[in-house]
Protein backbone atom coordinates (compact mmCIF):
# COMPACT_ATOMS: atom_id res chain seq x y z
CA UNK A 1 0.00 0.00 0.00
CA UNK A 2 1.33 3.40 -0.95
CA UNK A 3 1.49 6.03 1.79
CA UNK A 4 2.39 9.70 1.55
CA UNK A 5 2.93 12.77 3.66
CA UNK A 6 1.51 15.85 1.94
CA UNK A 7 1.75 19.41 3.27
CA UNK A 8 -1.59 21.09 2.58
CA UNK A 9 -2.55 24.75 2.30
CA UNK A 10 1.01 25.72 1.43
CA UNK A 11 3.16 25.90 -1.68
CA UNK A 12 6.37 25.26 0.29
CA UNK A 13 7.58 22.00 1.84
CA UNK A 14 7.34 21.88 5.64
CA UNK A 15 4.67 24.57 5.77
CA UNK A 16 0.89 24.33 6.06
CA UNK A 17 -0.66 21.22 7.58
CA UNK A 18 0.92 17.79 7.02
CA UNK A 19 -1.45 14.90 6.36
CA UNK A 20 -0.85 11.21 5.92
CA UNK A 21 -2.51 9.73 2.83
CA UNK A 22 -2.85 5.95 2.56
CA UNK A 23 -4.07 4.16 -0.60
CA UNK A 24 -5.81 1.07 0.77
CA UNK A 25 -5.62 -2.33 -0.92
CA UNK A 26 -9.06 -3.26 0.42
CA UNK A 27 -11.31 -2.81 3.42
CA UNK A 28 -9.43 -2.52 6.71
CA UNK A 29 -10.69 -2.60 10.32
CA UNK A 30 -11.17 0.67 12.20
CA UNK A 31 -8.59 -0.37 14.79
CA UNK A 32 -5.99 -0.86 12.06
CA UNK A 33 -6.62 2.60 10.57
CA UNK A 34 -6.41 4.15 14.02
CA UNK A 35 -3.11 2.35 14.62
CA UNK A 36 -1.70 3.68 11.33
CA UNK A 37 -2.85 7.22 12.17
CA UNK A 38 -1.23 6.93 15.60
CA UNK A 39 1.98 5.75 13.93
CA UNK A 40 1.92 8.68 11.47
CA UNK A 41 1.26 11.19 14.28
CA UNK A 42 -0.17 13.87 11.99
CA UNK A 43 -3.34 15.79 12.83
CA UNK A 44 -5.13 13.50 10.36
CA UNK A 45 -4.29 10.56 8.17
CA UNK A 46 -6.63 9.94 5.23
CA UNK A 47 -7.51 6.45 4.00
CA UNK A 48 -8.63 6.06 0.39
CA UNK A 49 -10.42 3.05 -1.08
CA UNK A 50 -11.03 3.05 -4.84
CA UNK A 51 -14.49 2.29 -6.23
CA UNK A 52 -15.36 0.88 -9.64
CA UNK A 53 -16.90 4.16 -10.84
CA UNK A 54 -13.65 6.09 -10.33
CA UNK A 55 -14.65 7.65 -7.02
CA UNK A 56 -13.08 6.92 -3.65
CA UNK A 57 -14.19 6.11 -0.16
CA UNK A 58 -12.42 8.51 2.20
CA UNK A 59 -12.05 8.38 5.98
CA UNK A 60 -9.98 10.59 8.27
CA UNK A 61 -8.35 9.62 11.57
CA UNK A 62 -6.44 11.64 14.13
CA UNK A 63 -3.97 9.70 16.31
CA UNK A 64 -6.88 9.16 18.70
CA UNK A 65 -10.22 9.21 16.84
CA UNK A 66 -12.08 9.27 13.54
CA UNK A 67 -13.42 12.70 12.53
CA UNK A 68 -16.49 13.47 10.38
CA UNK A 69 -14.82 16.07 8.14
CA UNK A 70 -11.26 17.14 7.37
CA UNK A 71 -10.20 19.72 4.82
CA UNK A 72 -6.42 19.53 4.69
CA UNK A 73 -6.32 15.73 4.44
CA UNK A 74 -8.94 15.82 1.66
CA UNK A 75 -6.85 18.35 -0.24
CA UNK A 76 -3.79 16.17 0.38
CA UNK A 77 -5.66 13.08 -0.87
CA UNK A 78 -6.72 14.76 -4.11
CA UNK A 79 -3.18 16.04 -4.64
CA UNK A 80 -1.76 12.54 -4.18
CA UNK A 81 -4.27 11.00 -6.60
CA UNK A 82 -3.41 13.48 -9.34
CA UNK A 83 0.32 13.41 -8.69
CA UNK A 84 0.52 9.61 -8.92
CA UNK A 85 -1.67 9.46 -12.03
CA UNK A 86 -4.47 7.50 -10.36
CA UNK A 87 -6.67 10.37 -11.54
CA UNK A 88 -6.26 12.48 -14.63
CA UNK A 89 -5.46 16.05 -13.59
CA UNK A 90 -8.41 17.36 -15.60
CA UNK A 91 -10.85 15.09 -13.74
CA UNK A 92 -12.44 15.97 -10.39
CA UNK A 93 -11.69 13.83 -7.37
CA UNK A 94 -14.93 12.46 -5.89
CA UNK A 95 -15.03 11.20 -2.32
CA UNK A 96 -17.69 9.35 -0.31
CA UNK A 97 -17.35 10.38 3.34
CA UNK A 98 -19.16 10.66 6.66
CA UNK A 99 -20.10 14.21 5.52
CA UNK A 100 -21.59 13.06 2.21
CA UNK A 101 -20.05 13.28 -1.24
CA UNK A 102 -17.23 15.79 -1.50
CA UNK A 103 -15.33 16.91 -4.58
CA UNK A 104 -11.98 18.48 -5.35
CA UNK A 105 -10.88 20.10 -8.60
CA UNK A 106 -7.43 21.12 -9.81
CA UNK A 107 -6.65 24.40 -11.60
CA UNK A 108 -3.98 24.72 -14.28
CA UNK A 109 -1.63 26.34 -11.75
CA UNK A 110 -1.95 23.33 -9.43
CA UNK A 111 -4.16 24.97 -6.83
CA UNK A 112 -6.89 22.71 -5.49
CA UNK A 113 -10.46 23.69 -4.61
CA UNK A 114 -12.57 21.65 -2.19
CA UNK A 115 -16.38 21.63 -2.36
CA UNK A 116 -17.57 21.33 1.26
CA UNK A 117 -20.86 21.87 3.16
CA UNK A 118 -21.64 25.08 5.03
CA UNK A 119 -21.81 24.80 8.83
CA UNK A 120 -23.79 27.55 10.58
CA UNK A 121 -22.65 28.18 14.15
CA UNK A 122 -25.37 29.04 16.68
CA UNK A 123 -25.09 30.67 20.12
CA UNK A 124 -24.06 28.19 22.81
CA UNK A 125 -23.30 28.25 26.52
CA UNK A 126 -19.70 27.94 27.62
CA UNK A 127 -18.50 24.34 27.79
CA UNK A 128 -17.15 24.05 31.32
CA UNK A 129 -13.48 25.07 31.49
CA UNK A 130 -13.20 26.47 27.95
CA UNK A 131 -12.05 30.00 28.82
CA UNK A 132 -9.67 28.72 31.50
CA UNK A 133 -8.23 26.34 28.93
CA UNK A 134 -7.74 29.14 26.41
CA UNK A 135 -6.48 31.57 29.03
CA UNK A 136 -8.86 34.34 27.93
CA UNK A 137 -11.75 36.28 29.46
CA UNK A 138 -15.31 35.10 28.93
CA UNK A 139 -16.87 36.07 25.58
CA UNK A 140 -19.97 35.11 23.57
CA UNK A 141 -19.66 31.71 21.92
CA UNK A 142 -21.09 30.04 18.85
CA UNK A 143 -21.06 26.34 18.15
CA UNK A 144 -21.67 23.51 15.70
CA UNK A 145 -21.75 19.80 16.59
CA UNK A 146 -17.95 19.70 16.12
CA UNK A 147 -16.57 23.24 16.61
CA UNK A 148 -16.88 25.96 19.23
CA UNK A 149 -16.16 29.44 17.82
CA UNK A 150 -14.94 32.49 19.76
CA UNK A 151 -14.19 35.89 18.20
CA UNK A 152 -11.48 38.00 19.82
CA UNK A 153 -11.17 41.80 19.45
CA UNK A 154 -7.96 41.82 17.38
CA UNK A 155 -5.46 39.62 15.57
CA UNK A 156 -2.81 40.14 18.26
CA UNK A 157 -5.12 38.56 20.82
CA UNK A 158 -5.41 35.45 18.63
CA UNK A 159 -1.62 35.24 18.32
CA UNK A 160 -1.25 35.60 22.08
CA UNK A 161 -3.58 32.74 23.06
CA UNK A 162 -1.60 30.23 25.12
CA UNK A 163 -3.91 27.27 25.61
CA UNK A 164 -3.61 24.72 28.37
CA UNK A 165 -3.98 21.49 26.42
CA UNK A 166 -4.62 19.40 29.53
CA UNK A 167 -7.55 21.63 30.54
CA UNK A 168 -8.96 21.81 27.00
CA UNK A 169 -8.82 18.03 26.72
CA UNK A 170 -11.56 17.81 29.36
CA UNK A 171 -13.76 20.48 27.73
CA UNK A 172 -16.83 19.09 25.99
CA UNK A 173 -16.10 20.29 22.46
CA UNK A 174 -14.12 18.51 19.77
CA UNK A 175 -12.30 21.62 18.54
CA UNK A 176 -12.15 25.36 19.24
CA UNK A 177 -11.77 28.07 16.58
CA UNK A 178 -10.37 31.40 17.80
CA UNK A 179 -10.69 34.17 15.20
CA UNK A 180 -10.42 37.94 14.62
CA UNK A 181 -10.11 40.42 11.79
CA UNK A 182 -6.62 40.44 10.24
CA UNK A 183 -4.01 43.16 10.79
CA UNK A 184 -2.31 42.07 7.53
CA UNK A 185 -3.90 43.67 4.43
CA UNK A 186 -3.34 40.48 2.45
CA UNK A 187 -5.96 38.69 4.55
CA UNK A 188 -9.43 39.40 5.89
CA UNK A 189 -9.33 37.29 9.04
CA UNK A 190 -6.99 35.23 11.19
CA UNK A 191 -7.72 32.07 13.12
CA UNK A 192 -6.24 29.33 15.24
CA UNK A 193 -7.76 25.90 15.95
CA UNK A 194 -7.26 23.71 19.02
CA UNK A 195 -8.49 20.13 19.42
CA UNK A 196 -6.78 18.37 22.34
CA UNK A 197 -9.88 16.29 23.00
CA UNK A 198 -9.42 14.48 19.66
CA UNK A 199 -5.64 14.34 19.79
CA UNK A 200 -4.75 17.63 18.06
CA UNK A 201 -3.24 20.17 20.51
CA UNK A 202 -3.17 22.83 17.75
CA UNK A 203 -4.02 22.30 14.10
CA UNK A 204 -1.76 23.97 11.54
CA UNK A 205 -4.26 24.77 8.74
CA UNK A 206 -7.87 23.66 9.10
CA UNK A 207 -10.02 23.38 5.99
CA UNK A 208 -13.10 22.18 7.88
CA UNK A 209 -13.03 25.34 10.03
CA UNK A 210 -13.70 27.37 6.86
CA UNK A 211 -17.17 25.78 6.69
CA UNK A 212 -17.88 27.69 9.92
CA UNK A 213 -15.85 30.85 9.32
CA UNK A 214 -17.28 31.58 5.85
CA UNK A 215 -20.88 32.13 7.03
CA UNK A 216 -19.71 33.72 10.30
CA UNK A 217 -17.72 36.48 8.55
CA UNK A 218 -19.93 36.84 5.47
CA UNK A 219 -21.85 39.86 6.78
CA UNK A 220 -18.58 41.79 7.14
CA UNK A 221 -16.51 40.54 4.20
CA UNK A 222 -18.97 39.13 1.69
CA UNK A 223 -18.88 35.73 0.06
CA UNK A 224 -15.09 35.62 -0.44
CA UNK A 225 -12.77 35.35 2.52
CA UNK A 226 -8.96 35.37 2.71
CA UNK A 227 -7.83 33.52 5.82
CA UNK A 228 -4.44 33.03 7.42
CA UNK A 229 -4.07 30.48 10.19
CA UNK A 230 -1.62 31.71 12.80
CA UNK A 231 -0.11 28.36 13.73
CA UNK A 232 3.63 27.80 13.93
CA UNK A 233 3.66 26.32 10.40
CA UNK A 234 1.06 28.74 9.05
CA UNK A 235 -1.60 28.20 6.43
CA UNK A 236 -3.26 30.33 3.74
CA UNK A 237 -6.79 29.57 2.59
CA UNK A 238 -9.09 31.26 0.09
CA UNK A 239 -12.76 30.66 0.81
CA UNK A 240 -15.90 31.29 -1.26
CA UNK A 241 -19.40 30.67 0.05
CA UNK A 242 -22.05 29.78 -2.53
CA UNK A 243 -25.38 28.95 -0.93
CA UNK A 244 -25.04 25.81 1.15
CA UNK A 245 -21.53 25.04 -0.09
CA UNK A 246 -18.10 26.43 0.77
CA UNK A 247 -15.30 26.31 -1.79
CA UNK A 248 -11.88 26.19 -0.12
CA UNK A 249 -8.77 26.71 -2.24
CA UNK A 250 -5.13 26.04 -1.44
CA UNK A 251 -1.96 24.37 -2.63
CA UNK A 252 -0.20 21.17 -1.58
CA UNK A 253 3.30 19.66 -1.69
CA UNK A 254 4.28 16.00 -1.32
CA UNK A 255 7.21 15.58 1.09
CA UNK A 256 7.25 11.77 1.64
CA UNK A 257 6.40 8.79 -0.61
CA UNK A 258 6.58 5.31 0.80
CA UNK A 259 5.13 1.86 1.20
CA UNK A 260 3.07 0.66 4.14
CA UNK A 261 4.19 -2.87 4.97
CA UNK A 262 1.62 -4.20 7.51
Catalytic residues: 44
Q: 146 and 197 in contact (C-beta within 8 Å)?
A: no
- Would you call 125 exposed, middle or buried from its count of C-beta atoms within 10 A (0-12, 13-18, 19+)? exposed
- Greatest Cα-to-Cα distance within the chain, rounded to the nearest angstrom: 53
Q: For residue 70, give the DSSP letter.
A: -
Question: Quick one: three-class SS letters along 246-258?
Answer: EEEEECEEEEEEE
Radius of gyration of the CA atoms of the chain, in A: 17
Torsions phi, psi of 2, nearest 5? -80, 145
Amino acid sequence: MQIFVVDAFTSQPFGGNPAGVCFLDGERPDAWMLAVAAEMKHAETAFLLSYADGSYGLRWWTPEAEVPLCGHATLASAHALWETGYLDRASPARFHTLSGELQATRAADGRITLDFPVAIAEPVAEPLGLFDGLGIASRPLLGTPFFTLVELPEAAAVRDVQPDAATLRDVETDAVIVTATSDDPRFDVVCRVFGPRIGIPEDAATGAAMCVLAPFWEARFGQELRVVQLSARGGELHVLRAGERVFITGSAVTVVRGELVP
